[in-house]
Chain A
Amino acid sequence: MDPTDAPPTPARRAGRLAAAAAASLVSLFAAYGLARGIHREAIRSSHQQPTPEDWLDAPAATSPALVAQGRTAFLASCAHCHGIDASGDEGPDLHGLEASDRYILNTILRGVKGEMPSFRKKLRSADIAVLTAYLRSLK
């Protein structure tokens, strides 16, 4: 029999398993911590950052019909980056936006440098109005 094939003692076996479990947990916690840090930084530096504009402009009136139109426009223009339920994919989660209508309008029209293209040529103001209504409906 190969001497290296000798079964390990119970204490050694337990030590190996404890080390393996500890390494798994540490790696998962490290990944979770890294994910939280990256996510926080992404929110801080993105257009989702709460701004003083939030209290300057009251949100425009909305209705179920506008929200439905906005959902259609969202699926056509935004869902491929923000996800079909707007909970984020390549682009960020759009639920609970803390930004004014004007801020949303400017972001859609101008884009975000290095992150999101401008939709100035693709969307009309009516499209952006219904999109805003849809975004406001996402809690």
Chain B
Amino acid sequence: MDRDIWAKMHGASVHFPIALVLVSFALDGAGHLSSRLAVRRGLHAAGYWSMLLGAAGTVPAVVSGLAMTKGVILGHDALRYHHLFAWPAFALIIGIAAWRSLGAGSANERPPLAYVAAAGLAAALVSCAGYWGGEMLIAR
């Protein structure tokens, strides 16, 4: 087996949750600012599915990351910084995806502002985790 397979899998899988969570936050934020009902519903529905897909995408990203590092939870240097952002981001993304999906009546329901703020925090955390992931690549 390719000894770098998990590193490659991690690299291939992490960009989906990063992009989808950022896009979900942007769509729901735009939905809150929109005054047109049809547009707002469309934006919130897109934000809903983006967040759910992003949350689903965190699972292969986390599994491949753990397999790549042989189960290191924190590590040191850039890896430590990466994990200090990645773990809260992971928990928050799963949490807000559950918040959005389990209690929602429909995908285009307007989420509360607290949800949008939490999605913004998740987007910031996952971006910082991605930044430190990139720092590790540059360091090598």
Given contacts A4-B105, A5-B110, A35-B66, contact A88 B72 (CB under 8 A): yes
- Give a binary string over B38-65; 1 marks a CB under 8 Å from any A CB, 0 the rest: 0011000000000000000000001100
Given contacts A8-B103, A31-B62, A87-B76, contact A38 B70 (CB under 8 A): yes
| Interface of B: prevailing SS | helix
| Interface of A: prevailing SS | helix
Q: How many A-B residue pairs have CB under 8 A?
A: 97
Q: Are A2 and B37 in contact (CB under 8 A)?
A: yes
Q: How far is the CB of A108 from chain B (nearest CB, A)?
A: 18
Q: How far is the CA of A31 from the CA of B106 in the complex (A)?
A: 30
Q: Are A36 and B99 in contact (CB under 8 A)?
A: no
Q: How far is the CB of B61 from chain A (nearest CB, A)?
A: 11
Q: How far is the CA of A34 from the CA of B102 in the complex (A)?
A: 25
Report chain B residues within 8 Å CB of A10.
Answer: none
State the A residues within 8 Å of B (CB).
2, 4-5, 7-8, 12-13, 15-17, 19-25, 27-28, 31-32, 34-42, 80, 83-85, 87-90, 92, 114-115
State the B residues within 8 Å of A (CB).
1, 3, 37, 40-41, 62-63, 66-67, 69-73, 75-77, 79, 87, 90-92, 94-99, 102-103, 105-106, 108-110, 112, 140
Smallest CB-CB A-B distances: 10 pairs: A39-B71, A16-B103, A38-B71, A23-B98, A24-B95, A20-B99, A42-B70, A20-B95, A24-B91, A27-B94
